[in-house]
Chains A and B, each alone.
Chain A
């Protein structure tokens, strides 16, 4: 490197904890969300939702609504049906009602909508619609769904004679049976991962603007995947794709909630086409919580075949997942229960077998989202709870048990028990860093000492390895569209640049970190690069942002497009330096002559030449586009350790300390990475302690607002102690792995394991999340496991 090379940290390149550029407008209240957009002549839409979970619609009388001044349109399922829009396809080859025609299948389902001059009128008009329902028996869990004589929820589907969505298996059934036959001990555990909701602060919404004179449909909407939406609208509404423009402006969080297509979007589009006016739909919090893509809601029967010395010989899992009324998971087409079979990827286990059954119930559809890629959150929770129980059953130290079964550092590439190929990791080291940070041995002594004074302390470990970055096109597609991603880089004459990608930031900080990758590859200061995403008319095609896939896929595309631009800049440099390309060396931000390092030109010089002084025969300009199809997933690893104290008189538990060791490969912006980890841990704590959606026997959703659906505040959120181990991804251009979801995925089991460790003397092996104080108290005093969704018995006097 010559003295003239750029200092990478100073220009905001790789490894710089650069402040987030997008925060400048957010903290000033200058963000531009869908609800901030006002178009001339815009109308407002409100949705009437079903109060019942399962009921036949006898009649809908909209006459009183039409009579209210200012009402422009009232849509019902019957009217949608005349345009073949009463039903729409889901992302999992099922169908979902846009507006109910025959019956309602969950509480909160869309029954009608009103478009009016203002939202007050629209709301009044919704209240004026009279719907007569005939109540049907309600199903709120898989047991009821699978019972003999259970009412058929999806009687709209031909050839659907029961409530089963799928019956699927993966792994080696026979080999696993042999492993269990050889086991000294079989450790069994039944678990429930309760239903929760991604609950972004900004709910869903859209403004559809159909212009008859140009035939162009513009939709401003809350979507994490604008190009998928464009394709879906083209296919469902049968509009030409080039006449559809989807704009996803600033998003107030997504967490997977803003991947699917929701009925509200479809209705606002149809309304705009019919009325030829912009139609705005802004969902309220209750609408968001009771009708949009929920998360989890899955039951496990798990077994580990163990040898006395602690070796895991085999794993057997059966899951029953509750998908609600419509199967609308967003997941790779070929995996029916997402990536549940990524479980136990960090452990060296010879054989594994998973059976998975999905069922319909009278609950809202969804099932995948919430800061977890495709059921990995559940997989890792089940894994670490099973591992903990197995260590306890063997009477072995929980850290030692994990250490004995980890895949070793020299074992990569490694074929996981269910057949994934992992490529890198230092699992033992991460665990060791965590144990040292928490002071493992000291804590065990402290715990024993506290016990003698009647205090209950516990320590819980959780590890996770997450298959992130869907995906490679061989295995990952949504509705047949391959899951690659893209970046387009245009360097202007003065050396400033604009970068566009097919991803869509919703809090991840793309505007900051993408520029850092370009800075790293080209030496252009990050401050000189503007990043733009979310407009399908300008951004290159991409699959959007979820599944922690942006850095693994779009981020790689950013590096690759920068390299393409650099290759052209090299030719320009050779021209400017009047030497041949072979005689030129590159250092950050500068080409120089190998034999004369002080003779060089900057990347900015090359950019100027691209517009003012290109060699004969060279195409002017300095820009390119790259589509990146990753060779494999990326496999970050993490180890999370919690210590807790449980109050035996109330069941209240407090987190004493929490240590997180994350290995996400090379960190582009350490501050942004740490922010992601802290946010993820907070959500992990939320699910372990308080955050769940449950239903009463009538299918009423308990958790339909923020008084009942609890998000932790700064007050109860523990402090996080973060540590890192860096194992670069071998195939990613800059060695990065995904990180957005790791902490949410791996975190919950650490809390649960810690609480169970604290009350181990009671013999209790499991308390299902959330670990509300009353459930912990029940376990301590009754000395039994507390399983399943928290009961809702509102009329139960003692």
Chain B
């Protein structure tokens, strides 16, 4: 690979990294997992003057759960850590379903969840998952930290809400109030391919009644789509064939797909409809079994 010339810095602290970002004045890029940035550099689609490698920043490679059930994922936590996570396996089915579907094993070894959110690729899996879960990003800048709900964090294709001198240090999934269920399904032409369409579903229930629902769509719009109407259709009653069908239809309607070499717009809507239905039907059937 022969990228354009750039300066390389590998700071040892967040403060130092922020200072470098300020120095860079908008012409600097952060390098975490590098699984999107490095291909862009290689193709010279991105030619930053300064590359700030944050892999040496201490204490950011965690994912952990607070006593109240809040899940926190540090900026250097790799997809592979989440794939193997006992925390997610026992507490967060939507994330646990998505983790092994992100890209391919090689990418998962290096790439990070927070980096994926920052990259804001409409075909990125994590943005949908965190949206469906109502999560937020913690950004740190020269003036301290602030919380940005993920629905406001991703502002467009490959655009996020960070100021040029801010670093996304953590993603946060709020503590659930009921029992959690959900899943993630993605159609890809081949492992490692971007999603033709992907669907994240996260629900919380009190007894059989759905108390909170989130549905978000991958790869069927110019940014991650938060299918709020579809989610609303589930809240306030137990899952049933009728509510599932209604949510699936609303989610398909919320999609804004384009016809391209991955399939026609109508086909992608069909995938969204089918996947919402499949995830929720699976949830319903497993709860019936448990009940």
Contacts and interface: CB of A to CB of B under 8 A. Distances in A.
Interface of A: 46, 119-120, 123-124, 127, 286, 649-652, 690, 694, 702, 705, 707-708, 710-713, 715-716, 772-774, 777-778, 790-798
Contact of B258 (A46, A707, A716, A796): A796
Contact of A123 (B2, B104, B261): B2
Nearest to A123: B2
Given A772-B263, A773-B263, A796-B258, 15 more contacts: A123-B2, A123-B44, A649-B274, A711-B190, A713-B191, A773-B187, A773-B189, A774-B262, A778-B267, A792-B261, A793-B259, A793-B260, A797-B258, A798-B259, A798-B264
Main DSSP-derived SS at the A contact region: loop
B259 A713 contact: no
16 contacts: A120-B5, A124-B5, A286-B43, A649-B274, A694-B261, A710-B189, A715-B190, A716-B190, A773-B187, A773-B196, A777-B267, A794-B258, A796-B265, A797-B256, A798-B257, A798-B265
Given A707-B193, A772-B263, A650 B258 contact: no
B259 A796 contact: yes
Contacts of A797: 256, 258-259, 265
A550 B215 CA distance: 57
A774 B274 contact: no
Between B192, B259, B262, the greatest number of chain A beta carbons within 10 A of the residue's beta carbon is seen for: B259
Main DSSP-derived SS at the B contact region: loop
Given A708-B261, A798-B259, A772 B270 contact: no
B290 to A, nearest CB: 26
A713 B270 contact: no
A691 to B, nearest CB: 9
A705 B43 CA distance: 10
B217 to A, nearest CB: 15
A795 B261 CA distance: 11
Interface string B179-213: 00000000101111110100000000000000000
B271 A710 contact: no
B4 interface: yes
Q: Shortest 3 CB-CB distances between A and B: which pairs?
A: A774-B263, A798-B265, A796-B259
A70 to B, nearest CB: 12
B267 A713 contact: no
A666 B258 CA distance: 53
Contacts of A792: 260-261
A369 B191 CA distance: 26
A120 B3 CA distance: 7
Interface in B260-286: 260-267, 269-271, 274
Interface string B18-52: 00000000000000000000000001100000000
Contacts of A774: 196, 262-264, 267
Contacts of B264: 774, 778, 796, 798
Contacts of A651: 267
Contacts of B194: 707
Given A650-B270, A710-B190, A702 B258 contact: no
A690 B270 contact: no
Contacts of B44: 123, 127
A86 B2 CA distance: 27
Contacts of B258: 794-797
Contact of B260 (A712, A716, A794): A794
A772 B189 CA distance: 7
A796 B261 CA distance: 11
Contacts of B2: 46, 119-120, 123
Nearest to B3: A120
Contact of B274 (A650, A711, A790): A650
Given A120-B2, A708-B261, A798-B265, A777 B270 contact: yes
B220 to A, nearest CB: 11
